[in-house]
Structure 1
Amino acid sequence: MTLSMYQTAVPVTIRALENLAHVLKKGAEHAAKKNVTDETLLQTRLIPDMLPLVKQVQIACDMATRGIARLAEVEPMSFEDNETTFEQTSSRIHRAIEYIKTFKSEQIDGSESRTIILKTRTGEMTFEGQAYLLHFVIPNLFFHCTTAYNILREAGSELGKPDFIGQA
């Protein structure tokens, strides 16, 4: 059986974001128990030169939505980076999931060799679709989900590996 680009992209990004939403919910519950404001925990960092929790979530959502859209040759949905509460941050994750669910396999399958050009602050990056998904989108998505998990874990949230991985 062959694994399609759609199967590799869409269910994986949805699951990662659903698990991130679960982790964030447990972080919000921990903050409420400890009387820590949303703003304080959302601005928490592992170390001073890393981005805060809220930015990790924003980037994870952007990586998933923009990655899928680019594979489908659709202009990516844009989100404002203006979340200041757990409720707003959770809403962003759920909006990203709903957006990703709108893509059909016909839009993604066959994108293995599609040229993807990213414009960055430092120039352009060019990928073929499969390399873009497997070597850029998925690793970046999981990096930012993992970092969000680690920030919440370091802040004292009762999280474990099953929270990050989700149920089978």
Structure 2
Amino acid sequence: MNFYHFTVPQLIRTLGQVHQWLDKAQKYAEQKKFDVNVLLTARLAPDQFHFTRQVQVITDNAKGTVARLAGVQAPAFEDTEKTVDELRARIDKTIAFLKTLTPEQFQGAAERTITLPFLPGQGIKGSDYLVAFALPNFYFHAATAYSILRHNGVDVGKGDFLGELPFFALPSGT
């Protein structure tokens, strides 16, 4: 299977779920009568990124992963978001970029040498990059953002993290 199918649809799906988490955060804030933007500075530990930074990293990972694997330039986003609406806009810009990519751009991605700006002079094979770094890193920050909201009382559960799954009915007798 082409790496496009392991990345673009999956990243878009998870980014869409972040929108759902923000919807639930908004409802929770309305019920409890506080400004939802208070949650943006929440964190699980003093030395861990706050919620806004987690979402920024999620979007950066999504666009960086596919850009590196497809051999294209990712758009640069300023890290200036201060409101839920600004985070939503960033997520939407990321999804829009992901939707510009095609499976053909991922041909040869498994063997492509990937370089990372924070590791000068080093490379990693595309397949190793995707499996050992890119996807685990993306999901780490997604799970952390989700956990920050849950820790602060937002009613999100595993279904909110996973989203709709592509199950289908089996023929009778199986």
For 2:96 and 2:50, how far apart are their aligned partners in 1?
A: 25
Structure 1 residues 48 and 19: alpha-carbon distance in aligned structure 2, compared to 1, 3 A threshold: same
Deviation larger for 8-17 or 144-153: 8-17
Counterpart AA for 2:89:
S
TM-score normalized with structure 1 length: 0.93
Instruction: Find the counterpart in structure 2 of residue 23 from structure 1.
Output: 21
Instruction: Find the counterpart in structure 1 of residue 143 from structure 2.
Output: 146
Q: Deviations over 1:97-145 (max 9, x none)?
A: 111010011101321010011011x645421111111111111111111
TM-score normalized with structure 2 length: 0.90
Give aligned pairs, total. Answer: 165
Counterpart AA for 1:63:
N
Instruction: Find the counterpart in structure 1 of residue 168 from structure 2.
Output: none
Moved >3 Å (runs of 4+)? 122-125
- Rg comparison, structure with higher value: 2
Q: Which consecutive residues of structure 1, in runs of 5 or more, have no partner in the other structure?
A: none
Q: 2:43 touches 2:50 (CA, 8 Å); kept in 1?
A: yes
Q: State the Cα distance separating 1:147 from its structure 2 match.
A: 0.3
Q: Deviations over 1:42-65 (max 9, x none)?
A: 000111110000000000000000
Structure 1 residues 125 and 61: alpha-carbon distance in aligned structure 2, compared to 1, 3 A threshold: farther
Secondary structure of residue in 1 paired with 2:64: helix
For 2:42 and 2:49, how far apart are their aligned partners in 1?
A: 8
The match for 1:104 among 102, 105, 108 is 102
For 2:59 and 2:121, how far apart are their aligned partners in 1?
A: 21
For 1:44 and 1:126, how far apart are their aligned partners in 2?
A: 35
